[in-house]
Structure 1
Amino acid sequence: MLPNDLSLPNIDQSQWRSADVETCAAAFTKQGATHKPKILLLYGSLRQRSFSRLVVEECARLLIAMGAEVKIFNPSGLPLPDDAEASHPKVQELRDLVTWSEGQVWCSPERHGSMTGIMKAQIDWIPLSLGAVRPTQGKTLAVMQVCGGSQSFNAVNQLRVLGRWMRMLTIPNQSSVAKAFLEFDDNDRIKPSGYYNRIVDVMEELMKFTLLTRDNADFLVDRYSERVESAEELMKRVNQNAL
């Protein structure tokens, strides 16, 4: 049953935006960019035969075949968070790639029921803001994991939490490869299987979401609370009586 009083006395009407059909339709029917989607891939292991890296490399092949521009970040040499300055070359390389990207793939092994420290360190080096820019906000994200034993979803669940915290548009589909050591051939290529088909599904979905949202990311993540806060800060700056 609806309340009798439908008034909104606490709303700042100057910052109110109606998310109606017409507004959304106008945002999504404008002419979009035509360049290849820019996808950054991160993996979470430095082992010589890293299965998370091998999955990411296969994802790169799929994304390129689907029409994306792809870059893979090698975490080797990345310092622990807070153990170096942000000017460290590997930190700058990572941040530049994050800024460049329109979508991302995160793939971590599961270790002790969790993502690896290597995976978390990469995400921890990505700031929530660089000056006035939020480098991950509104960008698409696909999360994946490889398991040494039976299938688990601990790492992808944690990656989803981080993606939400980084204000990314995390796609619904995901991949978890059980007993990954059995899923690759002697040439380090993933074998045909249901796991492989699921990886294809995830990359296909990531491409669709990236193409559909990259031109409308600002619209999708625009927030009433932040509009109000920005307006209040502006008023403080221009209100001479407050000086």
Structure 2
Amino acid sequence: MVDLPNVNRTFLDHPDLEKLNSPGSAHPPRVLLLYGSLRERSYSRFLAEEAQRLLHEFGAETRMFNPSGLPLPDDAEADHPKVQELRELSQWSEAHVWVSPERHGNMTGIMKTQIDWLPLSVGGVRPTQGRTLAVMQVSGGSQSFNAVNNLRILGRWMRMITIPNQSSVPKAYQEFDEAGRMLPSPLYDRVVDVMEELVKFTLLLRDRSEYLVSRYSERKAED
């Protein structure tokens, strides 16, 4: 046995291989989509809606949260109806899609407000831990990755499993028609790739997420 004098072996986790190899859930992947703009012609919403159509094609069940009316954090209590709606959707979900415009080199305040209302834990429930996450952004100018990079930081902080692929749509006003549908292009193909990858990662990980995010330090502290 390896000498680990500072480790309490009682709380070391060893995989139950039989459980990990057992058949997984049979229901469609449950995906929550968040977008970061309230404009009437919102390209982040258009991109989220396009992602939603693709997710349906890949067999997922989806919900999209409308951030209109969501109060700023600390400007309302957690029992506010919009806050409760958001938290219930997050608990229902197994995966998230976050789509933000880039504003002043970062995600919008609307996007950040939604994430800020999702706590790391509520009683014994963790609304985001172990869920898969896809991040995308739209820009009014040339291609940038500032928003998606910062969304990845938030995903890690929320203890989510962010998939490797991502999408950044530059000059978004050129990429959608009058009805808000994304036009055919390599940028659109990339969105298809991202949604396909999200569904694959969700199917692979959703029944193992509790094991993947279990931490020695937390098991020890909870004893």
**Aligned pair partner of 1:26 in 10, 13, 18:** 18
Q: Which position in structure 2 is the counterpart of 1:111?
A: 103
Q: Which position in structure 1 is the counterpart of 2:5?
A: 9
Per the TM alignment, residue 185 of structure 1 is displaced from its structure 2 partner at its CA by 1.2
**Aligned pair partner of 1:145 in 137, 148, 153:** 137
Q: Which position in structure 2 is the counterpart of 1:225?
A: 217
CA distance in 1, matches of 2:112, 2:100: 9
Native 8 Å contact 1:98 1:135 kept in 2: yes
Q: Deviations over 1:67-104 (max 9, x none)?
A: 01111000001011111111111111101100100000
Superposition pairs of residues 117-132 of structure 1, within 5 angstroms: 117-132=109-124
Q: Which position in structure 1 is the counterpart of 2:125?
A: 133
CA distance in 1, matches of 2:196, 2:7: 40
Secondary structure at the residue paired with 2:133? strand
CA distance in 2, matches of 1:212, 1:117: 32
Q: Which position in structure 2 is the counterpart of 1:186?
A: 178
CA distance in 1, matches of 2:18, 2:100: 38
Q: TM (normalized to structure 1)? A: 0.89
**Counterpart code for 2:50:** E
Native 8 Å contact 1:27 1:219 kept in 2: no
Per the TM alignment, residue 230 of structure 1 is displaced from its structure 2 partner at its CA by 1.4
Q: Which position in structure 2 is the counterpart of 1:212?
A: 204
Per the TM alignment, residue 27 of structure 1 is displaced from its structure 2 partner at its CA by 4.2
Secondary structure at the residue paired with 1:105? strand
Per the TM alignment, residue 14 of structure 1 is displaced from its structure 2 partner at its CA by 0.9
By percentage of residues, which structure has more helix?
A: 1
Runs of 4+ in 1 over 6 A off after TM superposition: none
CA distance in 2, matches of 1:72, 1:44: 12
CA distance in 1, matches of 2:9, 2:59: 43
Q: Which position in structure 1 is the counterpart of 2:51?
A: 59
**Aligned pair partner of 2:60 in 58, 68, 74:** 68
**Counterpart code for 1:195:** L
Q: Percent identity?
A: 65
Select the structure of larger CA radius of gyration. 1
CA distance in 1, matches of 2:21, 2:48: 33
**Aligned pair partner of 1:195 in 184, 187, 192:** 187
Q: Which position in structure 1 is the counterpart of 2:71?
A: 79
Aligned residues: 222
Secondary structure at the residue paired with 1:111? coil
Specify every segment of 5 or more residues in structure 2 that has no aligned partner in the other structure, as ranges.
Answer: none
